[in-house]
Amino acid sequence: MIEFGQPAALWAGLAIGLPIFAHMAYQTVTRKHAFPSLRFIQPASIPRTGRKSPSDILLLLLRILLFLFITLLLADPYWQDPRASSSFDQRNQTMIAIDVSPSMVGWNGLPEAKMRAQERLGYAGSEFGLVSFGADVLQKLKIGTDPKIIAEAIEGLEHDWRKGNAQVFLDRLPELFSEGALSRKIVIISDFQNSDWQAAYRDLASEGIDFELLQVGAGEEIGGRSGNQGIVEAKAVPVGADNIRVWVVVRNWDDAPQDLELSLSAGGEIREKQDLKLNPLGSAQAQFILPAGDFSKALVRLESNDNYALDNERSVWLKAPPPRRFGFWIGNENQEDTPQERDFLETAVLSAGDSGWNRWEVSQDIADAKRMGDASSDLELLFALGVWDWFDQEALASNLKSFLEGGGVCLMTPSVPFSASISSINKSDLLDFSFSKVAGAASRSSEVFRIAALSQDSPLSQLFSGTSARDLYLTSFQRFGVLKNIKDTLKVPLRDREGHALAVIREYESGGRLVFLPFRVSPSWTDLPLRNSFLPLLMELVKKGRMEATSRAWPILEPGDAWTGAQVFRAERPGTFRFEDQWIEVVPSLAESSPEVSTSVEIGLALGGKNEARGQSTATSESSIENQHSLWLWFAIATSILLFVEMIWCRPKLKMPGEEDKQNA
């Protein structure tokens, strides 16, 4: 199709009226002839006419055509390929991205986002696609999808329960556009909550992607982005043998005091209600008492019509979690130190629990099953005491490796003779070091060894301070094995004042941990078991992986987390769930309750600043030029031909003798 580079020049076409006016105004000039007499001329009547017709019609048409071509020539005509134009129009792509993270439920965010997206979908001049995102890209309709389908998908959007992560969406942004797109634009509709967007960054401008930010969920109908109160923690602990206490913490994210009502339901009925007074930006605690054994779970609910409802309730199990299990591998029970060592360690671990549900239990049957190669047995802590030839004879190294690689923790102590223990350990390929002597073995009473000052970056240094550190440093060792050539892959958290290792640790990627003490935990080797430092030191050395929690309870997950047993449980939404032998609690993401948001200006800077789409304009211009075929030369040739014909037509003619004069307009 023909288009014009200077369409304003078409106004010059009004000049076509000039030749028409000239031909209409032309009058034939009468020649005078000498005549001797009028007697013989008969009078004639000349008819009157109401309008005058132009003369020389063919010349008039020629001149009109000439002016028409001159006008088109001034307008710079060119031929635009309609197929190329259609292809170019299809490359103007706009992707509508809607945030569906949990915070969008509050402050009217998601309904407002749907309304803004429908408005944007009505814009012409581009093909649209749709993507919804939260913790990941959840739904995707490719560019060019029927707008009716996109509109239906927008209306059907629901919030995700997982904590939002805008960076995951930004990392996948380029793949949302089709190949060859010359104009790419993303319209992001979100509340831009801080917890979801604070770490987001991608320079979209440098990638040729224009973007538009539409912030929703400002809460204008309710008075701004505030007015939220939520349950931030809820747990159940035993109170004696007959009752269970449900302990709840409620937080106020508003800068005004709030009076609220908190209820506890069990067995499908509300059992108790309490009134709470929350200070501005403060928190309050509440406690409920229920009979033990009457109910398996409870629901705590905040009776509040605040701006964000997803954090107003929490489900908790009222059942005691299973205790942590530990056991012993012993081969030399006839040795003098072994029974004492076992008694000290068993008493210490049993006393490491608390008055709640953080309990330890000796499970020797399970430890024996592990010794026989039963990998399915649930054991968290194993003590291998007096390691010697029995460890080799029973080929226990492979069973112990399997236990450690599965996340278990083992503490090993040597036997007598000490060199035999080191030989068995090195053969098992569990630890790698050598042995020089037993310090203090020759004269036990003449020399006492002390623990050296702890490194400042050591967890033990944080654990022992003040009077507890004084008690630890007064610990005496009568004898211990002096280790040397300790590999760099092993950690030495404890040394004596001469720099000799008093504990060696090997950690596994699974969270397992192997701890070797070069001394027996008995008074004939050290007075450590008789000191107050013994229990915290022991539990800190074996604390790793699943044992890092300070309190024992059922697994508490957020949506998106996973719990691994024989199978994998993936948390999808809040509630209480039974999975294998675990009673799992899934709670809403606390980060989504915060009303703090980033401005669209801050987000724009994180996305590379406002994109002027210079690269897109250049590409558009180049593509347009490639698809344009200029017709200027052809119109110039046609104009020249018409002008040449008109000049020949109107040239003066020579008058022959006896020929009458003829004139053109």
- 90-137 pLDDT, tens per residue? 468 899 999 999 999 999 899 999 999 999 888 767 889 999 999 999
pLDDT class of 38 with cuts at 50, 70, 90: low
Cβ atoms of residues 224 and 268 within 8 Å: no
Cβ atoms of residues 77 and 657 within 8 Å: no
Q: Residue 388: what pLDDT?
A: 86
Strands 183-190 vs 92-99: parallel, antiparallel or unpaired? parallel
Residue 12 pLDDT > 80: no
CATH fold of 85-223+596-622: Rossmann fold (3.40.50)
Of 60-64, 464-468, 502-506, 548-552, which has the strongest mean pLDDT? 502-506
- Average pLDDT of the residues in 648-654: 69
**Residues contacting residue 382 through CB under 8 Å, at least 6 positions apart:** 326, 327, 328, 329, 367, 370, 400, 403, 408, 409, 410, 411
Q: Could you give the maximum distance between any two Cα atoms of the chain, in Å?
A: 177
Axis-axis angle for helices 57-74, 17-25 (nearest 10): 160
Q: What are phi and psi of 140, to 5 degrees?
A: -145, 125
- Average pLDDT of the residues in 148-171: 93
- The residue assigned the tokens 């209480």 is 576
Q: Per CATH, is 324-547 categorized as 3.40.50.880? A: yes
**Which of residues 258 and 467 earns the better pLDDT score?**
258
Helices (H), 334-437: 337-350, 364-371, 389-393, 397-405, 418-427
Q: Residue 68: what pLDDT?
A: 83
598-603: long-range contacts, CB 8 A cutoff, minimum separation 24? 598/192, 598/193, 598/194, 598/197, 598/198, 599/192, 599/215, 600/192, 600/213, 600/214, 600/215, 602/192, 603/188, 603/192, 603/197, 603/200, 603/213
- 453-499 pLDDT, tens per residue? 988 888 888 888 777 788 899 999 999 999 999 998 899 999 999 99
What letter represents residue 68's amino acid? L
Residue 356 pLDDT > 60: yes
**Residues contacting residue 63 through CB under 8 Å, at least 6 positions apart:** 19, 646
| Nearest CA-CA partner of 596 in 278, 196, 212, 105 | 196
Whole-number average pLDDT of the chain: 83
Q: Residue 323: what pLDDT?
A: 83
Rounded to the nearest 10°, the torsion over CA 120, 121, 125, 129 is 110
Q: Residue 223: what pLDDT?
A: 42
Same fold, 85-223+596-622 and 324-547: yes
Question: Angle at CA 125, nearest 5°, toward 121 and 127?
Answer: 60
Axis-axis angle for helices 397-405, 364-371 (nearest 10): 120
- 262-282 pLDDT, tens per residue? 999 999 899 999 999 999 999
- Average pLDDT of the residues in 524-546: 86
Residue 660 pLDDT > 60: no
Q: Residue 618: what pLDDT?
A: 41
- In the chain, what are the domain boundaries? 85-223+596-622, 229-320+584-593, 324-547
Residue 86 pLDDT > 50: no
**Which of residues 399 and 658 earns the better pLDDT score?**
399
Q: Residue 221: what pLDDT?
A: 42
Cβ atoms of residues 388 and 421 within 8 Å: yes
**Residues contacting residue 182 through CB under 8 Å, at least 6 positions apart:** 88, 91, 92, 616, 619, 620, 623
**Residues contacting residue 348 through CB under 8 Å, at least 6 positions apart:** 529, 534, 535, 538, 539
Residue-wise burial string across 397-423, b where 16 or more C-beta atoms lie within 10 A, e elsewhere: bebbbebbebbbbbbbbbbbebebbbe
| Pairwise CA distance, residues 295 & 95, whole Å | 51
**Superfamily of chain region 229-320+584-593:** C2 domain (2.60.40.150)
pLDDT class of 49 with cuts at 50, 70, 90: low
- Among the residue ranges 98-107, 228-237, 424-433, 443-452, the one predicted with the least confidence is 443-452
